[in-house]
Amino acid sequence: MKNKIIGFLLILLILVMIPLCAARKTVRSEPPKKSAQPDESVKIIAYAAEKALPEGCCDEALKALIIILNTNYKYNKGLFDKNVGKINNSKTEKYAEMLKGYYITYNKKTVPVPYFRYSAGFTSPGKSHPYIRNSASPWDLPENGKSTDGVSLNGINKLCGLGLDYKSALGWYLKDIEINAPS
């Protein structure tokens, strides 16, 4: 019994250490350029980000989410609530403004990036999202999430809390993507 417990703890430790040891270099980014995105979208993105992430998330996780939201907004504006409420965190709006126009492409095309608060402990590409990695997301297990086809916001926050920047955290869940700067 003792050996089983030790084995389980070792597996759990390995799953937590994988993100720290993984050198995923599949996310490329271009240098920033002046944006042509309208200011209305900044408020829409900031509001959506504030609703999606819990209070106290790290800055890098917030940046990753804003880039995901920018991508989804560019892909299909109709999915977003135009009735923007009060944005309570000035940092959210600041990052939405700073990152306006940044979006993700796969094979040079804007693609939808599904996301959810918690995964089922792993993610997988599913049928329509070949750019999503098969990734362990062990920090989601206590929450009993059901989704696997997308990016775990809790996982992004945990990875960034462990020292990864937003590009590396996105690279944990997404493969062969580019983060495009505004032109």
Strands of the chain (E only): list them. 27-29, 103-106, 109-110, 115-116, 122-123, 135-136, 151-152, 177-180
Neighbours of 163 (CB within 10 A): 11
- pLDDT tens profile 62-100: 999 999 999 999 999 988 888 888 887 788 999 999 999
Distances (CA, A) of 18 to 57, 78, 159, 169: 21, 37, 10, 12
37 pLDDT band (50/70/90 cuts)?
A: very low
Q: What is the pTM of this model?
A: 0.78
pLDDT at 9: 55
Domain ranges of the chain: 2-180
